[in-house]
Structure 1
């Protein structure tokens, strides 16, 4: 039975001699196994600690030799085993919590001398160098010949780059790396992302630049990425659109969507309140969604999109008099923030409420509205703006929705007043 972690062995007698402990842990492999006692000539159970400097290991007898276990922080991978002879404290840290609990249970049984036959024990042997070396936290693979086919990725990785390897799908072995904070799969041939990427609870940066992605799944937008993902690079892919649920990724700070085939941005993009850097250059955007005006960015790049020149009088009227009962009930639900969910109303109605439009008056409209577009100076939402076109423009059309003819008339009056000044 073995455990990999950091260990500090503290001699409790040193202070009586006016000496201090080193106070620093070292990467080690702890083993519980049988060893021939030179005095009794019997096989006894020992705890062996092997480090890079001492691969042969130091052995400590366990039977009736543990004074106390300190396990208050065992969920954090920390514990201390106090031995009677010699008078040392074995301080463990940076261990896997489940493995640590199992290891301590085995040590407790060995101390009592009971049920030891049931323990998976073997003879104690010296540790290998790779077992006691500091865990690898970063790995970069930039050619197909270096890609590991028979060995797993180190479990301790928090940054992994796999580029130029012609991957057509995400290797499921990557998705077992629970400590992963940055995953760079740029310059491959990936067409689809597995929903299990959402199980990487620590993932803060996902780079998928220059792949063959055609969609970004709703499942990823509803996963734990909502709470962790801060940097997302989807540039140079084949995306035509992003789901409405994309705006659930509210921790996003950096978003790159350049060189795709996007014909629209997420309708609720204004919900990305932490977004500071947005680039969606060289797409097929004819206009921006109405909630774009709610963003507060440091940098914005929309160069090379075929934005249409807006005309407030060029509008689409989709109204019905009187409004349907469904439309009135839905508007009231959104306007008064009435709680709803699939346990209360049909799921398709929940989706309709999620994508409700917001009128200039601040009220909601769903299926019945008047739609037009107006020019907006992008400096209103961003400190730095890359020119929209080669003519030096920093304006782009933004969609507007109106819940009634009254609201639309008020809007036209404002436009007329501005044009006559």
Structure 2
């Protein structure tokens, strides 16, 4: 039986001799077995091998374990305290399930019972690859470098596979549970599988310069909802992002440049952690009403065909009297009544999720007055890239009103401000 992990061996006699303990833990391979030819007095022995000392150090286990410390075994940590020599073998960064099995075997070896049932390994020096530090970063920048016949190292935390002409996300990448940064820029990927959401540690995802036409809504409700911090979707063919996109609450950096976006996510103001937003050279005619809730450090909207704001030319979609559906929907949102697909039909839940907010703070669903007003982008961002070549930093933004009264009050304030 073998267990790869990190190990530090400390002598309990060092403090009494005034000596310092061991340094940092080293990558090691632990083996349980019997010495060749029956040397060492029989019984099961523990072999600790590292990259610097591949032959390793052997420790007899039969009736030689003073105590096992297993409080943090679920975190891949444990300590084997031996009687002779008086050392502590401290294990860390081990697979939790493998560590439990290994410690169970160590207990049996100590008692000397059922040794014939133990899955023992030959006590021989391991290969260099077995004790080397796990590879955490891999950079692939051409198709000829791309591994076709071997798997990616499972220990990878940063993987770049650019300029490889990939038409889809390689399913082998989705087994890399420690992956924090995935760079698939400059490929030919058209669609993201929902299984990308299985990368529970993923913080940065770079899909710059691909052929994406959308963003999988299922990813927005996956573990990426909390883990993903940086997303680069620039230079693709995306026309719109799903309403669920704003569930990615951990986003701090978002790049959407050089797409075909005709609108930004309706509830973009829910991205409370967002600090850097770039959506230059798209087809945005105006910004969503929720845009005003953002608090950015840097904003780039250059090269969008923004329309002229027309606050005095409203789009009136009011029904008087209001329908029962509209009244009940407004009451549900205004009074914060809980709802869900276990209570209401899914299409009604979707409608409630997309409700508008009037300037008075009340909600409206399908009965409202809509207009566009001029927004100074410095009100939502510290640094603003010029919107056009004329030096402007303003853009049109949608505004909604739940009634004629609210719209009339807005008009009064607007006309007073332009006098």
TM-score range, shorter-chain basis? over 0.9
- Unaligned regions of 5+ residues in structure 1, if any? none
Alignment partner, residue 382 of structure 1: 381
Q: What secondary structure sits across from 2:47 in the alignment? A: strand
Alpha-carbon separation, structure 1, partners of 2:112 and 2:98: 21
Alignment partner, residue 38 of structure 1: 39
Alignment partner, residue 138 of structure 2: 139
Q: What secondary structure sits across from 2:35 in the alignment? A: strand
| CA deviation after TM superposition for structure 1 residue 329, in Å | 0.9
The superposition leaves residues 255-306 of structure 1 with CA deviations (integer Å, 9 ceiling, x where unpaired) of 0000000000000001111111100000010100001011111111101111
Alpha-carbon separation, structure 2, partners of 1:392 and 1:119: 76
Q: What secondary structure sits across from 1:91 in the alignment? A: strand
Alpha-carbon separation, structure 1, partners of 2:254 and 2:19: 55
Alpha-carbon separation, structure 2, partners of 1:295 and 1:357: 16
Alpha-carbon separation, structure 2, partners of 1:15 and 1:287: 70
Aligned positions of 1:327-406 closer than 5 A: 327-406=326-405
Q: What secondary structure sits across from 1:107 in the alignment? A: helix
Q: What secondary structure sits across from 2:44 in the alignment? A: strand
Task: Answer with 57-66 or 256-265: which moved more.
Answer: 57-66
Alpha-carbon separation, structure 1, partners of 2:8 and 2:111: 24
Aligned positions of 1:256-335 closer than 5 A: 256-335=255-334
| CA deviation after TM superposition for structure 1 residue 38, in Å | 2.2
Alpha-carbon separation, structure 2, partners of 1:398 and 1:24: 56
- Unaligned regions of 5+ residues in structure 2, if any? none
Alpha-carbon separation, structure 2, partners of 1:246 and 1:304: 23
TM-score by length of 1: 0.96
Q: Is the 8 A contact 2:31 2:121 kept in 1?
A: no
Does 2:17 match 1:20? no
The superposition leaves residues 89-129 of structure 1 with CA deviations (integer Å, 9 ceiling, x where unpaired) of 11111212222112111211222223333332232221111
Aligned positions of 1:170-181 closer than 5 A: 170-181=169-180
Q: What secondary structure sits across from 2:22 in the alignment? A: coil
The superposition leaves residues 102-158 of structure 1 with CA deviations (integer Å, 9 ceiling, x where unpaired) of 211121122222333333223222111111111222111111111111222122211
Alignment partner, residue 56 of structure 2: 57
The superposition leaves residues 44-80 of structure 1 with CA deviations (integer Å, 9 ceiling, x where unpaired) of 3211111111111211122222111001111221110
Alpha-carbon separation, structure 2, partners of 1:229 and 1:39: 53
Alpha-carbon separation, structure 2, partners of 1:16 and 1:38: 33
TM-score by length of 2: 0.97
C-alpha distance 57-310 of structure 1, shift in aligned 2 (>3 A) = same
Alpha-carbon separation, structure 2, partners of 1:257 and 1:268: 16
The superposition leaves residues 176-223 of structure 1 with CA deviations (integer Å, 9 ceiling, x where unpaired) of 111111111111111111111111121111111001111111110001
Aligned positions of 1:207-226 closer than 5 A: 207-226=206-225
Aligned positions of 1:63-82 closer than 5 A: 63-82=62-81
Alpha-carbon separation, structure 2, partners of 1:23 and 1:68: 22
Q: Is the 8 A contact 2:2 2:121 kept in 1?
A: no
Alignment partner, residue 191 of structure 2: 192
Alpha-carbon separation, structure 1, partners of 2:97 and 2:193: 27
Does 2:7 match 1:3? no
Please tell me the root mean square deviation across aligned C-alpha atoms, in Å: 1.3
| CA deviation after TM superposition for structure 1 residue 39, in Å | 5.3
